[in-house]
Structure 1
Amino acid sequence: MQLDFSGKVALVTGAASGIGEAVARQLAAGGAQVVVADLHRDAAEQVASSIGAQARARQLDVSDADAVRQLVDATVAEYGGLHLAVNNAGIGGASQDTADYPLEEWHRVLGVNLHGVFYSMKYEIAAMLAGGGGAIVNMASILGSNGWAGSTAYVAAKHALVGMTKTAALEYSARGLRINAVGPGFIDTPLLAGMDRAAYDGLVALHPAGRLGKAAEVAALTCFLLSAQASFITGSYHLVDGGFSAR
């Protein structure tokens, strides 16, 4: 099914690789103008260049509220509006038991994975309402509904992100704005490139599908939720996890 995003302007954070890149490419393939936002400017520019004239690269640290505001404002000024957003930027953080978890890591992970999504929604929502509505997808994780030993900050942020998504959806659904969350399982992205084979196989074994997911599979669901085909879907948390959460 080819989704039609003609005439739409989309902002994707963390779009220089992995899931974010796949989302940006699928949105552009559907006709959207896409802002490829990422902390890593060079990588974002490579992605935007490979997509073509429909994409613009922008450097963005989502943990900086003013930087997020400026990017949303600049997007509206350049394109005349903002209709779609995918808040995908995120980091993993340290692996430590809760009592030993470093305070600086706690603040760093929540600064990106939770505060960054709040900042993004705060300014995206205002821009979308000014234009008559739109759709937002927040990238959660299977750890938005499950625990994972050693990842207290990441798990806390993703659980909170799901709750924040549901709350915002209740607040704005009657005003033409849909907001959903997607929860990927472990996805085969460049982030796993340095993992040893035993650890990789251990992750695969957690998924009844017998493999890790692909970024394009997460992007396909994300883009569907952004599309007019999903017009009655809001406030939901959708898993793409190969059966991980069904155990």
Structure 2
Amino acid sequence: MREFEGKVILITGAAGSIGSSAARSFAEAGAKLALLDLSEEALETAAADINTEKLLLTADMTIEAEMERAVQATVDRFGRIDVFINQAGISGDFLPLTEQTVESMEQVLQTNVVGAFIALKHVLRVMIKQRSGAVVNGACSGSLLGGPGMSTYVASKHALLGLNKTAALEVSEYGIRVNAVCPSALDTGWMEDIESKAAKGNEKTARSGFEASVPLNRYGTVEEVTGLMLFLASDRASFITGSYFRVDGGQGTTSV
């Protein structure tokens, strides 16, 4: 189905595993793409096999002027933004809270909260003028649960859900929907980095422990996440806003 034929999709973190998978899926559904990331080289590599009209944008989301320029460049090229996938983020250090540094906390919050806020601010301004649009925020299971060793990341992703709910309330009158997806561990390079941080030299043991915390006893795939993103961005989800959806193999049902 090409249900996004002619639609304009802006994706941040587009060079990452989830962002690039979402880009390919939206392209296959007929969309035009504005793909944003920090590294031009990584972005070009990720977008090389995506066959659709696309605009590649490099910007630091934590710098408001850069994000504002990227949003304007998207509008200048395509005339509108129909869907925003707010996916960019960093993991931070894997350490007990008592060993985390203020600098690490500030860096993670700056990217995962302030950057997401800036991006939402400027994209929603465009959608309000259009009186239409759909946003999918890239949250995670850490938005809902604790995570030993990941206090900075978990705090930032809890905050992102607060932005998700508030934004949904503020823009509903304009016909704009805002939702979030909350995946647990996925079979990606990002999770390999977490495994290494958690148990340097014993990554296989770390992975086994992470998988054991999931009732389905495995990592998820990026396609299992981006499939939900496409649904939430589509007209099939026209009465869904302000919500978040677990993609976690049942992990959330095992914790208080």
TM-score by length of 2: 0.93
CA distance, structure 2, for counterparts of residue 36 and residue 79 of structure 1: 13
Structure 1 equivalent of residue 96 of structure 2: 97
Could you tell which deviates more after superposition, 79-88 or 43-52? 43-52
Is 2:118 the partner of 1:119?
Answer: yes
Aligned residue for 1:63, secondary structure, equals: coil
Alignment of 1:38-187 (within 5 A): 38-187=37-186
Structure 2 equivalent of residue 242 of structure 1: 249
Name the aligned partner's letter for residue 242 of structure 1.
G
Name the aligned partner's letter for residue 243 of structure 2.
S
1:36-84 Cα deviation digits (max 9, x unpaired): 2111211211222210242222112211111111100110011111111
Give me the identity figure in percent. Answer: 39
CA contact (8 A) 1:142 1:241 kept: yes
Cα RMSD of the aligned pairs, angstroms, is: 1.3
* Shift, 1:4, TM fit: 0.6
Structure 1 equivalent of residue 20 of structure 2: 21
- Gaps spanning 5+ residues in structure 2: where? 196-202
Structure 1 equivalent of residue 221 of structure 2: 214
Is 2:31 the partner of 1:32?
Answer: yes
Aligned residue for 1:82, secondary structure, equals: coil
Name the aligned partner's letter for residue 253 of structure 2.
A
* Shift, 1:3, TM fit: 5.6
Is 2:242 the partner of 1:227?
Answer: no
CA contact (8 A) 1:4 1:31 kept: yes
Aligned residue for 2:163, secondary structure, equals: helix
CA distance, structure 2, for counterparts of residue 212 and residue 173 of structure 1: 34
CA contact (8 A) 2:33 2:52 kept: no
Structure 2 equivalent of residue 204 of structure 1: 211
Alignment of 1:180-195 (within 5 A): 180-193=179-192, 195=195
Could you tell which deviates more after superposition, 120-129 or 150-159? 150-159
TM-score by length of 1: 0.96
Is 2:15 the partner of 1:8?
Answer: no
- Gaps spanning 5+ residues in structure 1: where? none
* Shift, 1:94, TM fit: 0.9
* Shift, 1:14, TM fit: 0.7
CA contact (8 A) 1:187 1:212 kept: yes
CA distance, structure 2, for counterparts of residue 148 and residue 59 of structure 1: 31
Aligned length: 246
CA distance, structure 2, for counterparts of residue 205 and residue 100 of structure 1: 26
* Shift, 1:193, TM fit: 3.8
